[in-house]
Amino acid sequence: MFTRLGCTSFGGPIAHLGYFRDEFVARRRWLDEQAYADLVALCQFLPGPASSQVGIALGTLRAGLIGGLVAWLGFTLPSALLMIAAAYGVRFLDGDADWLHGLKVVAVAVVAQAVWGMVRTLCPDRQRASVALVAAIVLLAFPGAIIQVAVIVVGGIIGWRFLQDAPLPPARAFAVPFSRGFAVTCWVLFFGLLVALPLMRQAMPGDGLALFDSFYRAGALVFGGGHVVLPLLHAEVVPPGRVSDAQFIAGYGMAQAVPGPLFTFAAYLGAAQAPAPDGWQGGLLALLAIFLPAWLLVIGALPFWDRLRARAGAQAALRGMNAAVVGILLAALYAPIATTAIVRPLDFALALGCFGMLVLWKWPPWIVVVVAGVAGAALSVL
């Protein structure tokens, strides 16, 4: 069933959570509404891809760690294989091809749609909207992965201090099929790799270790899901020359045309990069590296979530962090997305049309991507 969802779940992480709810709450009744909402809250609290972490947690709670692995493979591999195949094509194409430029333009519309939706749900009041606005201003003035993480931390502190006014959900217990000791081991491994991989990269230079370290760090430090990982991945692969800016933005546009988690964009980047390991080996290595933190975090957090989520401070910090995430995405909409894709008035017109297809007319993302590619080629003659 997770493989079927991985082949049909278009629309991004929020849509994926809707698909999961329909399948496992409404149809199969694996858990009730409140338990599912609590699980979603846990995965939104953690860094990493929220929808993939919910899938891992659902499989784990149902059938243990093997069940979690099967759920992740089923939901992730269809998208990852399609993205690796796309990388083989893009590597040998002209980065300035007209249809690829259309895919860069559609990425503007997709990120704008994400900002639109997240502002409405995560910044419904002046306080959180202000956090988002200041976060965007700071990141535009001082771009960088470290600043992005700092903005999220400060957002959490602001939320903990000033946003403790929302009611808490009732606590619901989970039947976790492993011990707290195993969970602590996962947390130790998560932080251990975060510290050890950069040190090993300096002591033993190599393209494979550098690739694993870059994508592991991106998966470990991003809050807010697939769209927000974009600046981190861009900083890791474009300035060092692993992939060109045109390849990066075109691949991000292609990622909108496939179902499943957006983090499989990492498989595209690993396969499309210039130094070895590249091709399918680089794609699978990057895929494993970016999803490993999600695994370690969700398995490490499940046994402790009941106690943590009952605290008002933790819920308030989450609200502030989510508002900061909106600001990060807003800054990313300008750079690198819009600055790369919008080079003439017709590009902006195409981006507006794609935004309307997604937000107003509710067209499936894969159709909008196809339309943008065709339009990019057609507009070249104007």
* Higher pLDDT pick, 381 / 308: 308
| Average pLDDT over every residue of 231-258 | 80
52-103: pLDDT as tens digits:
999 999 999 988 999 999 999 999 999 999 999 888 876 555 545 566 678 7
Task: Tell the burial category of 42 from Cβ atoms under 10 Å away from its Cβ (0-12, 13-18, 19+).
Answer: buried
Q: Report CA torsion sign: 110, 112, 117, 121.
A: positive
Per residue in 182-199, pLDDT tens? 999 999 999 999 999 988
Q: How far is it, in rounded angstroms, from Cα 5 to Cα 348? A: 34
Q: How many CA atoms lie within 13 A of 351 on its CB side?
A: 25
Supply the pLDDT for residue 171. Answer: 53
pLDDT tens figures, 287-299? 999 999 999 999 9
Q: What is the pLDDT of residues 14-30, one digit of tens each?
A: 667 777 887 888 788 88
Structural domain boundaries enclosing 300: 2-379
Who has greater pLDDT, 295 or 332? 295
What is the C-alpha separation between 215 and 210, in angstroms, rounded? 9
- pTM comes to 0.71
Beta-carbon contacts of 203 under 8 Å, excluding residues fewer than 6 positions away, are none
Decide if pLDDT at 130 tops 90.
yes
Total number of domains in the chain: 1
- For the cut 70, the answer to whether the pLDDT of residue 167 exceeds it is no
